[in-house]
Structure formats: structure tokens, C-alpha cells
Structure 1
Amino acid sequence: MIVVTAPTGNIGSRVLAEIADGSRPVRAIVRNPAKLPADLRERVEVHTGSHSDPEVLARAFDGADTVFWLVPPDRQAASADEAYSGFARPAVEAIRTHGVRRVVSVSALGRGTAVAEQAGHVTATLAMDDLISDTGVAFRALANPTFMDNLLRQTSVIKEQGMFYDVLPPDYAAPTVCTRDIAAVASRLLLDPSWTGREEVPVLGPEDLSPNQEAEIVSEVLGISVKYQQIPVSALGAQVRANGLSEAMAQSMMDMATAKLNHLDDGVVRTPQHAVETPTTFRQWCAEVLKPAVDKA
């Protein structure tokens, strides 16, 4: 039995669709079952509620051997640690109690780098990973860089102003990955009962690109001129506060951005295998995902 958490988000929804093929029984923990596609509701066992609720976890983890773990965003959390480890602690106890054998978690790059201890959301995510792996469960942490899909938050700005922005220098090449490739890696692991031990699985996408290179690709795919604008970390903080993040979570976002400026995502040496496992290029993603979203903006 495989349990999927956060099954209506960008990653979890794809994981659920990919593994609910009848080869293994699947359960989904979801707050609102109506958000699941009707065909999936018929193929999986649905448990209504939050995957931070001990009672929900007790029912969903009973008899389960594998769990896909993803923490939903908490914009108003009192701290990043509370948003991640605090949310996960009931699941940690349920893993022990119900004898779950394997957990695949959506995590982040940065472990072992000089800035990992002051990287906001990333630091909190890595601490949560440690809580889960300390149960003795076989554990795979999908160590992700920035998501390509984050650019979807700026579709209106791209369309109306011909620009997008971030904190990285224009010529700083870094890895990015799309959420569908993350889901594909997770699904392969969830359906494979042979792995043991603890490992991080770097999910890097097929190439490193700078923001200026991304702007060139976006311009070519959209057929309009799109420029990149670097903004200070303080401006990012002001924006996320205006969008409703608590002061603690806004500071955590700023700490993560500062860590990325200080090479948080540079600690893994890229190999050809990364492109095999996460093959979607930024250009392909722009054509298939970004362009339709900008057209509708």
C-alpha cells in the first residue's frame, strides 16, 4: 500500500495519477476529496483530512509500506521549523507506530554546503528530513533546486511588462527543474520496493541556465521581448509580506534567497544521468507550460 500526501498540488497530483495504475493499492490523504479527478477517486482509497492529523494518519498509515511525503505551504506559520518539522511530527510517530518501510520526500538542495544552516525554508526542510530518517525508515529525499514552475507566478508581469525578476545576478547559471519531472522521479521510487537505506536524490533538470539565458528563451518561445531584472532580497521580502506571509515566513524566504546567492544550489556535481532522470528542458517547459499560461493571463 502506497500513501500519497498533498495529492492535489503540482507535484502530488502528478504522482497520484502516475502510480494509481492498478499495480499497487494507493491511498490519498486530502482535505477536500472533490479536488481529486473523478477517475482517480474511483481508483484510490481516499482519507479525508490533513496529513498533520494523528487520527487521519493512523487510518491512512495502517497497513501501508510506502509514503510520499510533501508538506503544504503555511503562509502564516510562526516559524519555518514549525511549518516543516512541526507539521511532520505526527507523521514521524505514525511511521514508527505502523511500521512504514519507505518514505519519499520532496526536499531541497543544500545539505553539506556552508550556507545550509542559514537557508530559511531549506534549513527547515533538511531538519524535517532528519526527523523522518531518524525513525529508521528507508528514505529518499528528492533534493530540488528552484522550480521552473515558479515563473508561473509572474505570467501577468511577463505579458504586460515584458519582464520577470528574481534575486540572482543576471549571469549566474544555476539548475532548475520542472515539477512534472520531480513527480516522475518520485513515482519511480514509490513503485520500486527494492531500495533500502537513506539517500538524497539530486533532481537537477537537464541544464544550468542564467536568468539572462532564460529571458532569451522565454522571448523566443513567446515571440515577444522579455528581459530579466535582478531585485534585492529586501524587495523580495516586501513582496511576500504583501502577499500575506507572516514575518517569520517572509524572513525565511529572504534567508533562502540569500543562501542561493551564496551558492546553496552549487554543491552537487552535474552528471549526464541528471538529464536522463529529469529530461524536460527550460525551452520545452516554456513551450508546453509557460506560453499557454501567459496567453491566458
Structure 2
Amino acid sequence: MFAIMGATGQTGRAAVAHLRRSGQPVRAISRDARRAAALFGPEVDIAAADPTDPAALAAAFSGAWGVYAMLPPLPGSDDVVGDCAAMARAVAEAVRRSGVRRVVALSSGGAHLPAGSGVVRTLHDFEAALRHTDADVAFLRAADFLDNWAPMVAAAPASGVLPSARMPLDAPMETVSAEDVGRTAAELLVEDWRGMRIVDLLGPQEVTPQDVAAAVAVLSGRPVRAVPLPPDSLVPALLEAGAGSDYPRLLAQLYDGLNDGRVGFDAAADERRRGTVTLLQAVRRMLQPAPAGVT
């Protein structure tokens, strides 16, 4: 049996779906057990656990041979690094208490950096915590999610512009779909391997912000152009949207690092894989209304 943290999120749902299609027994872990039960039905075991609670996580991991582990985003936190470090310790402690043998941990390009990577610093700490367990661990270092474009893509057909914090607008960037992340995590859970490993995950091809705008234009039938998001506008916009005082600063630092090439993949990966979801497929889904009850 495989236990999936963040099962109601994008990558978690994809991991559950892939494992179920291959006939594997699954336990979906969520802070909201009722929502998970409504989403997956009776064929999936449900466990409620807060990612800060090692005892609840250990109970949720108990009996599982492998776990897909992640740190949920904390946009409302005023101490993102500190709060995520506490969650990382809780997950690692739960792995030790439960005796689970295999962990696939969602990480990111740039997680090898101890500083200067913005919010990705939290995943550096996550990896460090899991290295001090007895489990076999695969760190799935994913590229920037294509799905992060969803709010801008949804608004672009009406406004005619696609604001981009990634610059220059014609610079190729590595991105990957959350669906590919969840599928790859599920594959790693069942494959034959041992020890610690790093797996980089990229999309089928690099894309530029201009490519994203062009895809929106093609699929919506309306003219859309990519425009630069002024660097000094990101933090105020996130604060106005209700983010905590710390997260916007770290996100801006991450974009600075991505744009100038300081944050990316290193040469330490044991393997590099590519997803299959194309830019057009991803944008088509972003332009469709979400099913009821799915966020």
C-alpha cells in the first residue's frame, strides 16, 4: 500500500489516480478527510493528518510500504522557512516512527542551494531532514510548474495581456505539468531502486512566456501578448491578495534567481526525466472551468 500526502492537491491527485489505474492500494492523506473521501470514494483509504503533527503523520504512514511526501505551500506564513522546517522535521520523524521503507519527496530545481533560492530554500531543508532517516528516499526535483500560470492564463483572453514575472519574455524556461509530477512520483514509488537518489523532472520541451501567451491566443481565439510584470509590483500584489509578510519576499527572490540563472538544476542528479504534458494541453486545461469541489 502507498500513502500519498497532499492527496487532494494537484500532484497528489495525479499520483493517486496513476496508482489506482495500475491496481495499487492507496491511502490518501489530507487535512480534510471529508473532502478526500468525497473526491476518491470508497476504493481509496483515507487518513486525516496535519503536516505539522508527527504522530498523526506516523499513523497515516503506518502499514504503507512507500510514501509520497511533500510540504504544502504556506503563503499566509510570516516565517515560511521556519514553519516549513518544522513540517520537514515532522515528516522525517513520522517516517522514522512508522518504519516506512520508501519515500518519494517532492522537491525542486534549486533545492541543492542552501541560500539565495527564495521559497525553494524550504525544500533544501526538507531534503536535509529526510536524509537523516533510514528509508530509501528519491528526491523528485521538479521544474517550475506550468500550472502556476493558471491565474494569469484564465484572465488573459479578456485582458489581452499575460503578465510574466519570468523574464526576458523570449527566454526559454524549464517547466513541467503537475500531472507529470504526480505520475512520476507514482512510478518512482513502484520501481525497483534502493538508497538515496535525485531525479530531475522537466517538461517535454522548454517554453518562453511568449509561447504561453501564444498558446492562450490560439486556444481562446483572442489576441494575447506577454508583458513583463514590474519587479516592484509582485510583493505588493501578493500582500494585497492576503499573503503573509514573508512569502511574497521569498517568491520575488526566487524569480530573481530564476531570471538571472542562479536558481536551477545542478549536476548531482542520478537521473533526468521529461514529462509528456505539452504546453497546449496544459493551457487548454487552465482555460476550462474547474470541476465542482476541485481546487
| TM-score > 0.5 by shorter chain | yes
Query: Is contact 1:3-1:67 (8 Å) kept?
Result: yes
1:138-287 matched pairs, under 5 angstroms: 138-167=136-165, 168-192=167-191, 194-264=192-262, 266-267=264-265, 277-287=274-284
d(CA) in 2 for partners of 1:179, 1:24: 21
d(CA) in 1 for partners of 2:283, 2:272: 20
SS for the counterpart of 2:100 is coil
Identical-pair percentage: 24
Q: Which residue of 2 aligns with 1:86?
A: 86
Unaligned runs of 5+ in 2: 291-295
Between structures 1 and 2, the one with greater helix share = 1
SS for the counterpart of 1:118 is coil
Query: Is contact 2:29-2:46 (8 Å) kept?
Result: yes
Q: Kindly state the Cα deviation for residue 36 of structure 1 after the two structures are TM-superposed.
A: 2.4
Query: Is contact 2:199-2:272 (8 Å) kept?
Result: no
Q: Kindly state the Cα deviation for residue 64 of structure 1 after the two structures are TM-superposed.
A: 2.3
1:120-171 per-position Cα deviation (integer Å, ceiling 9, x unaligned): 1111212211111221321112212221111211245313211111222111
d(CA) in 1 for partners of 2:195, 2:9: 28
SS for the counterpart of 1:106 is strand
RMSD: 2.3
**Code of the aligned partner of 1:89:** R
Change (3 A) 1:124 1:24: same
Query: Is contact 2:37-2:46 (8 Å) kept?
Result: no
TM-score by length of 1: 0.88
Runs of 4 or more above 4 Å deviation: none
Larger displacement relative to structure 2 (139-148 or 30-39):
30-39
**Code of the aligned partner of 1:54:** P
Q: Kindly state the Cα deviation for residue 214 of structure 1 after the two structures are TM-superposed.
A: 2.2
Q: Which residue of 1 aligns with 2:67?
A: 67
Change (3 A) 1:24 1:217: closer
SS for the counterpart of 1:252 is helix
2:48 is the counterpart of 1:15: no
1:179-230 per-position Cα deviation (integer Å, ceiling 9, x unaligned): 11111101111222x2112222111101112212222222122211111111
Query: Is contact 1:147-1:177 (8 Å) kept?
Result: yes
d(CA) in 1 for partners of 2:158, 2:147: 19
Query: Is contact 1:170-1:228 (8 Å) kept?
Result: yes
Larger displacement relative to structure 2 (161-170 or 26-35):
26-35
Q: Kindly state the Cα deviation for residue 90 of structure 1 after the two structures are TM-superposed.
A: 1.7
d(CA) in 2 for partners of 1:23, 1:221: 35
SS for the counterpart of 1:28 is strand
Query: Is contact 2:8-2:39 (8 Å) kept?
Result: no
d(CA) in 2 for partners of 1:237, 1:179: 25
Q: Kindly state the Cα deviation for residue 256 of structure 1 after the two structures are TM-superposed.
A: 0.8
d(CA) in 1 for partners of 2:203, 2:21: 26
Q: Give the counterpart of 1:292 among 254, 273, 288.
A: 288
1:44-91 per-position Cα deviation (integer Å, ceiling 9, x unaligned): 221223132233123212232211112222222232222322112122
Query: Is contact 1:175-1:265 (8 Å) kept?
Result: no
2:96 is the counterpart of 1:100: no
| Paired residue total | 286
Q: Which residue of 2 aligns with 1:51?
A: 51
Unaligned runs of 5+ in 1: none
d(CA) in 2 for partners of 1:213, 1:76: 31
Change (3 A) 1:166 1:39: closer
SS for the counterpart of 2:170 is coil
Larger displacement relative to structure 2 (15-24 or 137-146):
15-24
Q: Which residue of 1 aligns with 2:293?
A: none
d(CA) in 2 for partners of 1:215, 1:52: 39
Query: Is contact 1:205-1:274 (8 Å) kept?
Result: no
**Code of the aligned partner of 1:13:** R
Change (3 A) 1:267 1:12: closer
